[in-house]
Amino acid sequence: MAVIEIQNLTYTYPATSHPALREVSLTVEAGEFVAIIGPNGAGKSTLCYTLAGFIPHFFKGELQGEVRVAGQDIRRVRLEDWVLKVGLVFQNPFNQISGAKFTVYEEIAFGLENIGVPREEMKRRVEEVMALTGIEDLADRSPYALSGGQQQRVALASILVMQPEVLVLDEPTSQLDPIGTREVFQVIRRLAHQGVTIIMAEHKVEWIAEYADRVIALAEGRVIGTGTPADVLTDPRLPDYGIGISRYTAVARRAAGEGLWPAERRLPVTLDEAEAGFRAVEEAHAHLH
Amino acid sequence: MVERLSFYLERSSPLHRLNPTTKLVVAFTLILVAFLGPGLLLPSLIFLLILTPLSFVGQVGREFLRTTVRLLLPLFAFLFVMQSLFYPGGKTVLFGFWIFSVKLEGVRFAFLTATRVLVMVSSFLLLLFTTHPGVLLLDLTQRGLPASVAYILASTLQIIPQMQAKAATILDAQRSRGLDTSGSLGRRIRALLPLVGPLVFGSLVDVEERAIAIEARGFRSSRPKTSLVEIEDRPLERALRWLCLLAIILALGSRLWP
């Protein structure tokens, strides 16, 4: 069943002349983990904001086309209710801390207080997501006294605790160091295994190649490619659009130029695929001699 | 990086367990009685016989006395010198030296003003030492303070240290590229100007993201809110608050019909 259906979406921010998204059409199935790649300014954040309802309800501007999430027209929903259906986590971990609460535990409970969840259920749900995101030991710390990776997991837990049907992540690791990035991706993989529908804008293609079910590439507001990570991430046009490619793909492409990659084999996107390819080349050489 | 957010000192004392509103009401009552009530000694008695013992009940006595003295000593010294020498209408000269003379009326006025200020500052200090700001705000919200006002107060408490840290970072960045922030007062003030732009505009950008973040947490949800923490309010405390009201009325009465 398709959870997200977008038909010919064109959106222009207020006081700008060029659309941020142009005739975007895509569908996402329930339980799918879809990564959105594209250079800066391609419209990734705009797409995330649209799914989460902040476009057109927070940023006004002009929206054309059809956006349906969980069967509902995004234009007809009320933002204050919509946040229960679609959860949004964005780049800056620091700005996602509410500032209203003094400990991590209270910070995660903040959303549940706002939507009127009874106290016992609140505690159960808060403790559940703290275990899921691996931040139990931070419960009594100030949410401001944490590392970026810890803060981003608190932000993620604060949204997950509201049990949204769809989780939208807008470059959640772009301001994190490699350790923070791994911490966040591990949580996201756990969620994907649990069957949460995840839409994630992300630059780090090595991680996408490992985790995502499907990749959508955006450039200048248009969809320029969609398919499995292996198909989209090895698309030779990506560098022309300013989209980074996996270092495994880059190495294999250079090797292929010198005849050192098996001709029939697709270029690799993960370390394992690269290793398998180069071993095949090695064996072929061994046979020759 | 995060400094202390408030005066709050964590202890497990009966004073800490009191309902925050009770403490707030008692603090206001003591202040009003000190300012309205009769007699020269009333405010000092309130400080010595009520506030100081209470601070030891709350296990914050040492911090309470130390902070009070540090905050008020300079003010009091100034007050006594000025008032005892220059109080208008002072007649009874206690002693004189050179061209100055210390007058009894001035000393009395200085003493009364100083002890009233002492009650005002120290009762709030005691409230802040023994009450977590989050709990105080939560209690006030449950008594009808709008959630948005409580949010503004709580987030201000938390964001000020963050802003200070950010200002320090910007200043360091500018210094490392040769901005001179030492020297005369005028030069120091001029050196602050380049700080204003990045700090203010950066904060404005943050405000939009912060608005999105709390919106995403259902802050504007129309459902009735619940709260994680339950705040106790015993019947005895309610009675105490009515007693406070009575004390205020009595103090007011003593002022109107002496």
DSSP B49: I
| Partners of A28 in beta bridges | A4
Using the predicted structure, report yes or no on whether residue B249 has a pLDDT greater than 90: yes
Residue A109 contacts B, CB cutoff 8 Å: yes
Give A125→chain B minimum CA distance, Å: 12
Residue A106 contacts B, CB cutoff 8 Å: yes
Which distant-in-sequence residues (6+ apart) come within 8 Å of B254 by Cβ? Answer: B36, B37, B38
Q: Judge if A260 and A133 occupy the same domain.
A: no
Q: Judge if A240 and A273 occupy the same domain.
A: no
Residue A159: both structure tokens together? 């949204």
Alpha-helical segments (H) within chain A: 44-51, 54-57, 79-82, 104-114, 119-132, 148-160, 178-193, 205-211, 229-233, 247-257, 271-288
Q: Report the candidate in A211, A166, A205, A201 with the shortest Cα–Cα distance to residue A42.
A: A201
Structural domain boundaries in chain B: 14-131+235-256, 145-216
CB distance A111–B206 less than 8 Å? Answer: no
Q: Report chain A residues whose CB lies below 8 A from the CB of B209.
A: 90, 92, 95-96
Contacting A with CB below 8 Å, chain B residues are: 1-2, 5, 132-134, 150-151, 154-155, 158-159, 161-162, 206, 209-230
What pLDDT is stored for residue B163 in this prediction? 82
Residue B2 binned pLDDT confidence (cut-offs 50, 70, 90): very low
CB distance B217–A114 less than 8 Å? Answer: yes
Q: Judge if A152 and A280 occupy the same domain.
A: no
What pLDDT is stored for residue B92 in this prediction? 78
> What Å distances lie between residue B204 and B81, B168, B207, CA to CA?
47, 18, 5
Residue A75: both structure tokens together? 């234009």
CB distance A100–B155 less than 8 Å? Answer: yes
Q: Judge if A134 and A253 occupy the same domain.
A: no
Say which range, A96-110, A221-235, B122-136, B187-201, has the weakest mean pLDDT. B187-201
CB distance A99–B132 less than 8 Å? Answer: no
Which one of A46, A79, A98, A166 would you mutate to disrupt binding with B, by most B Cβ within 10 Å of its Cβ?
A98
Of A99, A142, A162, the CB nearest to B159: A99
Using the predicted structure, report yes or no on whether residue B91 has a pLDDT greater than 80: no
Give A235→chain B minimum CA distance, Å: 34
What pLDDT is stored for residue B5 in this prediction? 59
Q: Judge if A19 and A52 occupy the same domain.
A: yes
Residue A43: both structure tokens together? 């419209």
> Which residue type sits at A274?
A
Q: Judge if A225 and A287 occupy the same domain.
A: no
Tell me the pairing of strands A2-12 and A214-219. unpaired
> What Å distances lie between residue B26 and A21, A41, B61, B235, CA to CA?
59, 57, 18, 16
Give the model confidence (pLDDT) of B160-181 as tens digits.
877 888 888 888 888 888 877 7
Q: Judge if A201 and A278 occupy the same domain.
A: no
How far apart are alpha carbons B84 and B104 in whole angstroms? 7
Give A104→chain B minimum CA distance, Å: 13
Per-residue pLDDT in tens (0 to 9) along chain A, 289 residues: 789 999 999 999 998 999 999 999 999 999 999 999 999 989 999 999 999 999 999 998 999 999 999 889 999 999 988 989 999 999 988 889 988 888 999 999 999 999 999 999 999 999 999 999 999 999 999 998 898 889 999 999 999 999 999 999 999 998 888 888 998 899 998 898 988 999 999 989 989 998 899 999 999 999 999 999 999 999 999 999 999 889 999 999 999 989 889 888 889 999 999 999 999 988 888 887 7
Q: What is the ipTM of this complex?
A: 0.85
Question: Minimal Cα distance from A88: which residue of B?
Answer: B216
Q: Report chain A residues whose CB lies below 8 A from the CB of B213.
A: 90, 95-98, 155
CB distance B132–A58 less than 8 Å? Answer: no
**What number of CA atoms fall less than 13 Å from residue B182's CA on the CB side?**
2
> What Å distances lie between residue B16 and A10, B20, B23, B256, CA to CA?
57, 8, 9, 36
Of A88, A106, A113, the CB nearest to B216: A88
Q: How many domains would you assign to chain A?
A: 2
Higher pLDDT, residue B96 or A262: A262
Q: Report the candidate in A231, A205, A227 with the shortest Cα–Cα distance to residue A39.
A: A205
Q: Judge if A135 and A194 occupy the same domain.
A: yes
How far apart are alpha carbons A274 and A259 in whole angstroms? 15
| Residue in this structure with the two tokens 């992540």, named with its chain if needed | A169
CATH number of the domain that residue A103 is part of: 3.40.50.300
A281: left (phi over 0), alpha (psi -120 to 50) or beta: alpha
CB distance B210–A110 less than 8 Å? Answer: no
What pLDDT is stored for residue B3 in this prediction? 45
Whether residue A36 contacts residue A213, with contact meaning beta carbons closer than 8 Å, is answered with: no
Residue A243: both structure tokens together? 């989209």
How far apart are alpha carbons B1 and B166 in whole angstroms? 11
> Which residue type sits at A169?
L
Range of the domain at A268: 246-289
Give A119→chain B minimum CA distance, Å: 6
Residue A160: both structure tokens together? 């997950």
Using the predicted structure, report yes or no on whether residue B1 has a pLDDT greater than 50: no
Q: What share of chain A is helix, strand, coil (3-state, %, to 5)?
A: 40, 20, 35
| Distance between start and end Cα atoms, chain A | 54
Tell me the pairing of strands A33-37 and A62-69. unpaired
What pLDDT is stored for residue B181 in this prediction? 74
Give B209→chain A minimum CA distance, Å: 6
Q: Report chain B residues whose CB lies below 8 A from the CB of A158.
A: 217
CB distance B226–A142 less than 8 Å? Answer: no
Which distant-in-sequence residues (6+ apart) come within 8 Å of A187 by Cβ? Answer: A132, A133, A134, A153, A156
Using the predicted structure, report yes or no on whether residue B153 has a pLDDT greater than 90: no
Residue A57: both structure tokens together? 């309800």
Q: Judge if A119 and A217 occupy the same domain.
A: yes
Of B1, B155, B225, the CB nearest to A99: B155
Q: Judge if A124 and A266 occupy the same domain.
A: no
Q: Judge if A99 and A138 occupy the same domain.
A: yes
Name the phi and psi angles at A239, rounded to 5. -60, -30
Residue B92 CA to chain centroid, in angstroms?
A: 37
What pLDDT is stored for residue B4 in this prediction? 57
Burial class (CB in 10 A: 0-12, 13-18, 19+), A259: exposed
Residue A80 contacts B, CB cutoff 8 Å: yes
Give B214→chain A minimum CA distance, Å: 6
